[in-house]
Structure 1
């Protein structure tokens, strides 16, 4: 289990990101760079964060034909990020191609490769009506997890509520990276399947991704330490 929570840097500019990071100058963080920040600023953002000694989850959720994803991953591997993801819905060949691209483009340690299962903003009803997937949400997530593992992925992005079941079918070493993490007193906002850090750990998350509970807090450091303390609270899960 990763001891540090991953902070979602959901900002549009480097200036806003830098302002947010200022109180953490003494900390080496694990941060998530998503589409909003990366697509508006490019590799510059990654260079800046690496110089500040932060670990990086590049959350681009690639989904395209296998060859395109392979070539994209080959280029992205050169950025030196720690973790990256694709949509598992792209299929086993696409996920395998993503892994191959990372191996081709990495000079040091290969970034961990995750498959996105179902977004934590997606409800079962929405999945049925809009994706026309007839099985339960849990079955869909487990299917994508098994597909990702078979394709050579290191883990998946899922909600905390599927983490234990994924461990049963894919093993405890298979990563369960869970967004939708909120402190109990915070609003769920646009997320449907949310949990607090203690529940996430109890249910088997390997890593948690926290956004607004930290980035929109009145005291950034205090909120970060509160999340970190709750995430490390339960040492033995029965």
Structure 2
């Protein structure tokens, strides 16, 4: 087990601003950040993202993926939100990642720059799904390949499944921040996720952050569900 702690990000997966704000308010005693992504941002816009996130550190998960200039310009447009974390797709390539790095450094004040996190392989994909896109080799091999590319081009960290933490640490060391979705407490439905672990398993593997949505927000008591996961992470 690595020495650093593992913290919880609550995914506010809804189109309802008031509901997202309620979940944020209920869970921030246990969580270190909240996630707002494509579903909410497309439905409600950037002003609502600011309102829903409130004072909580914001993991803005828009997975930017376009030509380098467009991604850089998009990051400039997001600066007013002051996210703590911002995602791009590693498969956008070295030039796109480098442009995103430059945009973060140029747009945000030195003390308020978000972590630039590159998505490797989505946790909804398994080997068969990856092969259908034309990628040969295993999921782990592709994750490490994209991880090397992204970190080498300036990303602060990576989005990966818990199953790829060990090979990424072996290849890249301790410095990259690893944020891990696809986390399901024991007994929870896995839904559309293919490569999952429990919070305790992800902590033992060495995740810096885990992302949990429905097992918290769909629980009868979201605050209690978030506290239980936080307790599991600190045990």
TM-score (norm 2): 0.93
**Pairs aligned (count):** 231
Q: Structure 1's 28 and 200: CA in aligned 2 closer, same or farther, altered over 3 A? A: closer
Corresponding position of 2:16: 13
Larger relative contact order (Cα-Cα within 8 Å, sequence gap ≥ 6): 2
Distance in 2, matches of 1:124 and 1:14, equals 36
Which structure 2 residues correspond to residues 45-64 of structure 1 after superposition, within 5 A?
Answer: 45-49=48-52, 52-64=54-66
Match for 2:195 among 193, 199, 203? 193
Distance in 2, matches of 1:140 and 1:25, equals 34
Please report how far the alpha carbon of residue 173 of structure 1 lies from its aligned counterpart in structure 2 after TM superposition. 1.7
Please report how far the alpha carbon of residue 168 of structure 1 lies from its aligned counterpart in structure 2 after TM superposition. 1.3
Q: Secondary structure at the match of 1:114?
A: strand
Match for 2:178 among 173, 176, 179? 176
Please report how far the alpha carbon of residue 174 of structure 1 lies from its aligned counterpart in structure 2 after TM superposition. 0.6
Please report how far the alpha carbon of residue 25 of structure 1 lies from its aligned counterpart in structure 2 after TM superposition. 7.1
Q: Structure 1's 228 and 26: CA in aligned 2 closer, same or farther, altered over 3 A? A: closer
Distance in 1, matches of 2:104 and 2:118, equals 14
Measured against aligned partners, the alpha-carbon deviations of 1:6-38 in whole angstroms (never above 9, x if no partner) come to: 000100120221233343476674100100111
Distance in 2, matches of 1:97 and 1:109, equals 18
CA RMSD of aligned residues (A): 1.6
Moved more, 102-111 or 53-62: 102-111
Please report how far the alpha carbon of residue 176 of structure 1 lies from its aligned counterpart in structure 2 after TM superposition. 1.1
Distance in 2, matches of 1:4 and 1:138, equals 24
TM-score (norm 1): 0.92
Q: Does 1:139 align with 2:141?
A: yes
Q: Structure 1's 155 and 45: CA in aligned 2 closer, same or farther, altered over 3 A? A: same
Please report how far the alpha carbon of residue 185 of structure 1 lies from its aligned counterpart in structure 2 after TM superposition. 1.1
Q: Secondary structure at the match of 1:213?
A: helix
Please report how far the alpha carbon of residue 167 of structure 1 lies from its aligned counterpart in structure 2 after TM superposition. 1.1
Measured against aligned partners, the alpha-carbon deviations of 1:179-222 in whole angstroms (never above 9, x if no partner) come to: 00111110000000111100001111111000111011111111
Distance in 1, matches of 2:171 and 2:186, equals 30
Q: Secondary structure at the match of 1:40?
A: helix
Q: Does 1:153 align with 2:155?
A: yes
- Uncovered stretches (5+) of structure 1, i.e. residues with no partner: 234-238
- Uncovered stretches (5+) of structure 2, i.e. residues with no partner: none
Q: Structure 1's 209 and 28: CA in aligned 2 closer, same or farther, altered over 3 A? A: closer
Distance in 2, matches of 1:119 and 1:63, equals 14
Q: Does 1:112 align with 2:115?
A: yes
Which structure 2 residues correspond to residues 18-29 of structure 1 after superposition, within 5 A?
Answer: 18-24=21-27, 29=32
Q: Secondary structure at the match of 1:64?
A: coil
Q: Is the 8 A contact 1:8 1:33 kept in 2?
A: yes
